[in-house]
Amino acid sequence: MEKKTLLTDCPDSKGLIAQITNICHKHQLNIIKNNEFVDHQHGRFFMRTEIEGYFNDQTLLADLDFSLPKGSHRALISAQKKRIVILVTKEAHCLGDILMKSTYGGLDVEIAAVIGNYNTLEELVTKFNIPYHTVSHEGLNREEHEKKVLEAISPYAPDYVILAKYMRILTPEFVKVYQNKLINIHHSFLPAFIGAKPYQQAFDRGVKIIGATAHFVNNDLDEGPIITQDVTHIDHSYTADDLVKAGRDVEKSVLSRALQQVLDDKIFVYANRTVVFQ
Amino acid sequence: MEKKTLLTDCPDSKGLIAQITNICHKHQLNIIKNNEFVDHQHGRFFMRTEIEGYFNDQTLLADLDFSLPKGSHRALISAQKKRIVILVTKEAHCLGDILMKSTYGGLDVEIAAVIGNYNTLEELVTKFNIPYHTVSHEGLNREEHEKKVLEAISPYAPDYVILAKYMRILTPEFVKVYQNKLINIHHSFLPAFIGAKPYQQAFDRGVKIIGATAHFVNNDLDEGPIITQDVTHIDHSYTADDLVKAGRDVEKSVLSRALQQVLDDKIFVYANRTVVFQ
Amino acid sequence: MEKKTLLTDCPDSKGLIAQITNICHKHQLNIIKNNEFVDHQHGRFFMRTEIEGYFNDQTLLADLDFSLPKGSHRALISAQKKRIVILVTKEAHCLGDILMKSTYGGLDVEIAAVIGNYNTLEELVTKFNIPYHTVSHEGLNREEHEKKVLEAISPYAPDYVILAKYMRILTPEFVKVYQNKLINIHHSFLPAFIGAKPYQQAFDRGVKIIGATAHFVNNDLDEGPIITQDVTHIDHSYTADDLVKAGRDVEKSVLSRALQQVLDDKIFVYANRTVVFQ
Amino acid sequence: MEKKTLLTDCPDSKGLIAQITNICHKHQLNIIKNNEFVDHQHGRFFMRTEIEGYFNDQTLLADLDFSLPKGSHRALISAQKKRIVILVTKEAHCLGDILMKSTYGGLDVEIAAVIGNYNTLEELVTKFNIPYHTVSHEGLNREEHEKKVLEAISPYAPDYVILAKYMRILTPEFVKVYQNKLINIHHSFLPAFIGAKPYQQAFDRGVKIIGATAHFVNNDLDEGPIITQDVTHIDHSYTADDLVKAGRDVEKSVLSRALQQVLDDKIFVYANRTVVFQ
């Protein structure tokens, strides 16, 4: 017996749940958990099904293909551990949380490698017996540096690339290579404080709450589909530095929660939004 | 076209989602929204289905009855406004919030009447043109008083009875009359501070968070199935009175949220627990 | 014996707490509660002192004046109930919460009058025996309408004017009349979604949290000093209408909390920021 | 110039703030930050003062001693890094968070050693070049084991001993040695679910929120003064194992926050309660 997750999204029409669950039933697969959502604005149906049984992937997908409306996507994902590459700059808190959880419980993921544009975090990463590559941006233009980063990532063939406080802007060319596989933690409650130095911006504005946002990266800076967000309360006594420090705990927990949802195949991306099943 | 909600719970077995959605499909009913949950510990399946179409209730229920395993419950509920009776003592905040929301938007419910063991809140209730009955407990024993309260409620035939800070303990006899229809707001984060004066207890213990719990009432005081809970942070500077005041906002928002879920038929009660679909 | 609150803000220098508390002591006033804060960026000192005793306001203020550095502000505020005027348009939730709390406990304030640019909420307000004035904007330009609103407010000589979902933009002239006395609830987590239709903006952006901001109003729309903010979590299943509904509970609790802090004289406004003592 | 923190608690009386700040002023010490609180129920005054200048500790304390009422405590604490010993069993999440923050920023503390009753976490701790001692309880009675643990702690002369998921109950004798220096993270929202298996208890009760509590340890299990608490929302779909996992993030953030407050000398313990200045 095996467990897999079936992700279906297609134009909405009558009887979709019955059609899909019937096909599962016909294949003698047991449904462990099921979630659906209809985006009525876009007329689109989303369904996530955890199934258990003896799979014949090809005939199952063919049956679904025959049954579902045109314009449908189906993915049948094995419940095997996913592989990620993490990009970092100098800050340790998000990286450290993922290292801890992948090693000691909390995130069931294989960290294939960590790549930094500085060597600051090499010592931390090697403690966990994970390869660290320093790909310095010094003396290189953006395209040259990204080419080297892509070359460093590529051999690991990661399912996802995690930007764990990677402080460089990516070109559309880079993003295209890992479409819907690039996850960033932004150190603000988007869309407030887009761009650089969000904590200084937050301080200057005198806000009473700061937050963090985990999102997929697309071409526009800080504009990709949001996965999850959270906030923490602050007051007038916080300096800009205090905000940075308070923000760290939110950032790491938000990124870690988003990563969990990604690893569990709980997310659909559609129309620059996410459907995140709990 | 009509909208109804189908609630099904039964012993878990293979193919239940397919069976139920097939029957809906056969009846040419469109599924707007669907939620399922399997309690693996108790081997029980729960499904809530919002359906749209032209209903023949009897044949639909008969078809389901024929298809579903023994020990199943089905309820097909029309999307019409529900009727509640509210029981109060002297505190206005929970009552006031429900009155405001039912009149000016936020809760789609008919408040048939408010019954208090004091007349303190009569003036507030009559502002909203809703009948208020004072059923004083003075000079009566518990059974005599409850009999009078039941007589006051009965003509309104409410779908639910809401204890909005009703400060009297109910007998099992009373509870039995409105089994799974009695909703209470308890002024603590249950199961902490069961019983009387929870805010004083919280103060004495020096807690840093206080909370409120909305739950169905069963025979044991404060032991019924929990619907929803929330908390608010406090610190050493709060007196016991400050706790009461801070608690009020949590109490009213928790009760109001629970009531919304009840009115939307989103709750199953099973094994002294609730399944609450979002 | 009387209770008063002394608010002092002045350029920071050594020994300020000793100077001020010495003067209180010399006047045989007992300090019930004291809070200080130094804004090191602006070199400014803020202190809030709750005092009890027999006051000679003039000599006390003169002593402070003599002792404190140049550029200091002092306010000695009696603990008497404050008077507010509330401006509304059509939405009842924030207004209703303030009406309930001022009448039945939770906010110790006198609502002198409510003024709306529609008569929608007149019925609600008159339930509470409070004067309601409809000042329609129809057929008037902004200046003409504001003049009429100012004329309606003026006789009540309010300590504060509360914009409880008043959906019209105010001119700098209006704002100047009630400098630091105008409090608005903005239906977003500022500075995200400045301007109109924030819930539609939030929906379009696919955020996972929505919020509300209570702030003083200054010349620039939505740019005034923030008093308090809060948020609530949402998910993909919320329509733009659901966001509006979910936002209402946050809006009303944020405005009510800000109003409480204002009434308790806990807020200093300085450099487009607030110092809010707890 | 040096920075120190003065902690004063004494029976409440008139003019205490003036007296203390005058003495600081007389010693030409500058007050950076000041907090006071009066517990009116117990008639006790608490004040925390961050001071800067050239200290003569003996004369300063003598002056305070002369000025303050009988029954007063004063502590003048240097702003040097504090030393802790951490006790663990098998779970890594709380320990890992403290290791990460003390090494890479977030907690300014020296971890002198980690002591476990299993060797499970030795590998993690040695990654960070910190001594790890396994003091197995096997074959020993409680007193014998505790004696060995005390012997292992003692050479490090720690300012605080942190129980980071140390799953053994301590005897009053052990607690007495580190009176007000023992900090525990309890995996529930105390006083709910006192004792063993709180997550199973929480699951059985069907709660909708779980929490964690950091507290000083005294003689009675789980009854010591609470430092800080937090919660996270859960729903019916969480198994007891899911609760454990969800609880981990709350536990580690609550313990880390409490530790920060302890290291910053922001806490007074009095009458089985804490005063925690922000």
In tens, the pLDDT along D219-277 reads 776 789 999 999 999 999 999 889 999 999 999 999 999 999 999 999 999 988 999 99
Q: So what's the pLDDT on residue C221?
A: 67
Whole-number average pLDDT of chain A: 93
Helices (H), chain D: 16-26, 57-67, 93-104, 122-127, 142-153, 172-177, 198-205, 240-263
Q: Are D136 and D152 in contact (CB under 8 A)?
A: no
Instruction: Name the maximum alpha-carbon separation found in chain A.
Output: 63
Location of structure tokens 């929202």: D189
Residue C55 phi/psi, 5-degree rounding, is -90, 140
H or E element, residue B219? none
Q: Are B222 and B190 in contact (CB under 8 A)?
A: yes
Per annotation, catalytic residue among D65, D222, D249, D264: D222
Q: Which residues contact B17 (CB under 8 A, 6 or more apart)?
A: A17, A21, A31, A34, B34, B36, B47
Q: So what's the pLDDT on residue B271?
A: 86
Q: Are C234 and A274 in contact (CB under 8 A)?
A: no
By DSSP bridging, strand B2-11 and strand B73-78 are antiparallel
Nearest Cα of chain C lies from the Cα of B173 at a distance, in angstroms, of 33
Asked whether the beta carbons of residue B207 and residue D228 sit closer than 8 angstroms, the reply is: no
Q: Are D47 and D8 in contact (CB under 8 A)?
A: yes
Task: Kindly report the length of chain C.
Answer: 278
| Chain C residues inside the 8 Å CB shell of D35 | 35
Question: D218 to each of A126, D151, D171, D175, how far by Cα in Å?
Answer: 41, 20, 9, 6
Q: So what's the pLDDT on residue C131?
A: 98
Alpha-carbon gap, residue C119 to C217, rounded angstroms: 24
Mean pLDDT of C118-134: 97
pLDDT at residue C218 greater than cutoff 90: no
By DSSP bridging, strand A44-53 and strand A30-39 are antiparallel
CA B82 to chain centre: 12
Mean pLDDT of C174-197: 86
Location of structure tokens 């297609």: A10
Q: So what's the pLDDT on residue B221?
A: 67
Angle at A119 between CA A178 and CA A223, to 5 degrees: 35
Alpha-carbon gap, residue C216 to C264, rounded angstroms: 16
pLDDT at residue A193 greater than cutoff 70: yes
Residue A203 phi/psi, 5-degree rounding, is -60, -50
Asked whether the beta carbons of residue B14 and residue A33 sit closer than 8 angstroms, the reply is: no
Nearest Cα of chain D lies from the Cα of A104 at a distance, in angstroms, of 6
pLDDT at residue C167 greater than cutoff 70: yes
Q: So what's the pLDDT on residue C108?
A: 95
Asked whether the beta carbons of residue C100 and residue B97 sit closer than 8 angstroms, the reply is: yes
Give one DSSP letter per residue of C88-136, joined into a string. Answer: ESS--HHHHHHHHHHHHSS--EEEEEEEESSSTTHHHHHHTT--EEE--
pLDDT at residue C107 greater than cutoff 90: yes
More reliable by pLDDT, B222 or A107: A107
Q: So what's the pLDDT on residue C199?
A: 83
Task: Kindly report the length of chain A.
Answer: 278
Pick C104's closest partner by Cβ from B93, B106, B256: B93
Q: Are C161 and C182 in contact (CB under 8 A)?
A: yes
Q: So what's the pLDDT on residue D221?
A: 67
Pick D93's closest partner by Cβ from A104, A124, A128: A104
In tens, the pLDDT along B65-124 reads 999 999 899 999 998 899 999 999 999 999 999 999 999 999 999 999 999 999 999 999
Alpha-carbon gap, residue B47 to B277, rounded angstroms: 9
A-D interface: how many C-beta pairs under 8 angstroms? 52
| Chain C residues inside the 8 Å CB shell of A229 | 207-209
What are the beta bridge partners of residue D216? Answer: D183
**Low-confidence stretches of chain B (pLDDT beneath 70):** 190, 221
Residue among C251, C244, C246, C218 nearest C233 (CA): C246
H or E element, residue C271? none
CA A170 to chain centre: 16
Helices (H), chain B: 16-26, 57-67, 93-104, 122-127, 142-153, 172-177, 198-205, 240-263
Burial class (CB in 10 A: 0-12, 13-18, 19+), B272: middle
pLDDT confidence bin for D201, thresholds 50/70/90: confident
Q: DSSP 3-state assignment of B138? A: coil
Q: Are D36 and D47 in contact (CB under 8 A)?
A: yes
Q: So what's the pLDDT on residue B101?
A: 97
Q: In terms of C-beta distances under 8 Å and separation of at least 24 residues, what long-range contacts does B146-151 make, across chains too? A: B146/B170, B146/B171, B146/B173, B146/B174, B149/B87, B149/B115, B149/B117, B149/B174, B150/B174, B150/B177
Q: Per the structure block, which two tokens stand in for C250? A: 């946050």
The residues of D whose Cβ lies within 8 A of any Cβ of B are: 37, 39-41, 189-193, 205-209, 211, 225-231, 235-237, 239, 272-276, 278
What are the beta bridge partners of residue A5? Answer: A50, A77
Q: Which residues contact B116 (CB under 8 A, 6 or more apart)?
A: B87, B88, B89, B90, B122, B132, B133, B134, B135
Chains adjacent to A (≥3 CB pairs closer than 8 angstroms): B, C, D
More reliable by pLDDT, C200 or D140: D140
Burial A87-103 (b: 16+ CB within 10 A, else e): bbbebbbbbbbbbbbbb
Alpha-carbon gap, residue A138 to B255, rounded angstroms: 59
Using left for φ > 0, alpha for ψ between -120 and 50, and beta otherwise, residue D195 falls in left
In tens, the pLDDT along C6-47 reads 999 999 998 999 999 999 999 999 999 999 999 988 999 999
Mean pLDDT of C137-163: 97
| Chain C residues inside the 8 Å CB shell of D22 | 18, 22
pLDDT at residue C269 greater than cutoff 90: yes
Asked whether the beta carbons of residue B17 and residue A34 sit closer than 8 angstroms, the reply is: yes
Alpha-carbon gap, residue B146 to B158, rounded angstroms: 17
Which chain A residue lies closest to B52 (C-alpha atoms)? A14
- The type of residue at D30 is N
Q: So what's the pLDDT on residue D104?
A: 95
Helix C93-104 and helix C240-263, axial crossing angle in degrees, nearest 10? 40
Asked whether the beta carbons of residue A21 and residue B24 sit closer than 8 angstroms, the reply is: no
What are the beta bridge partners of residue B192? Answer: none
pLDDT at residue D152 greater than cutoff 70: yes
Alpha-carbon gap, residue B272 to C6, rounded angstroms: 54
Q: So what's the pLDDT on residue A278?
A: 85
pLDDT confidence bin for D195, thresholds 50/70/90: confident
In tens, the pLDDT along D42-69 reads 999 999 999 999 999 999 999 999 999 9
Which chain A residue lies closest to C206 (C-alpha atoms)? A273
| Chain B residues inside the 8 Å CB shell of A64 | none
Location of structure tokens 């209570």: C214
Label each residue of D189-255 as H, E or C: CCCCCCCCCHHHHHHHHCCCEEEEEEEECCCCCCCCCEEEEEEEECCCCCCHHHHHHHHHHHHHHHH
C-D interface: how many C-beta pairs under 8 angstroms? 37
Which chain B residue lies closest to C92 (C-alpha atoms)? B104
Give one DSSP letter per residue of C23-72, joined into a string. Answer: HHHHTTPEEEEEEEEEETTTTEEEEEEEEEE---HHHHHHHHHHHSPTT-
Question: Could you tell me the domains of chain D?
Answer: 2-78 (3.30.70.260), 82-276 (3.40.50.170)
| Chain C residues inside the 8 Å CB shell of A261 | none
Q: So what's the pLDDT on residue B126?
A: 97
- Cα dihedral sign for D253, D255, D258, D263? negative
Q: Could you give the count of Cα atoms lying within 13 Å of C65 in the half-sphere of its Cβ? A: 8
Alpha-carbon gap, residue D184 to D201, rounded angstroms: 20
The residues of C whose Cβ lies within 8 A of any Cβ of B are: 92-93, 96-97, 100-101, 103-106, 124, 127-128, 235, 237, 245, 248-249, 253, 256, 278
Q: Could you give the count of Cα atoms lying within 13 Å of A157 in the half-sphere of its Cβ? A: 0
| Chain B residues inside the 8 Å CB shell of D235 | 276, 278
Residue B50 phi/psi, 5-degree rounding, is -90, 120
- Best interface-test mutation with A: which of D94, D249, D253, D264 has the largest number of A CBs within 10 A? D249
Alpha-carbon gap, residue D212 to D195, rounded angstroms: 13
Mean pLDDT of D162-168: 96
Task: Kindly report the length of chain B.
Answer: 278
- The type of residue at D265 is D
Q: Per the structure block, which two tokens stand in for C82? A: 């404050």
Q: Is D63 a catalytic residue?
A: no
Mean pLDDT of A82-109: 97
- Cα dihedral sign for D253, D256, D260, D261? positive
pLDDT at residue D189 greater than cutoff 90: no
Q: Per the structure block, which two tokens stand in for D126? A: 């040695």
pLDDT confidence bin for A171, thresholds 50/70/90: very high
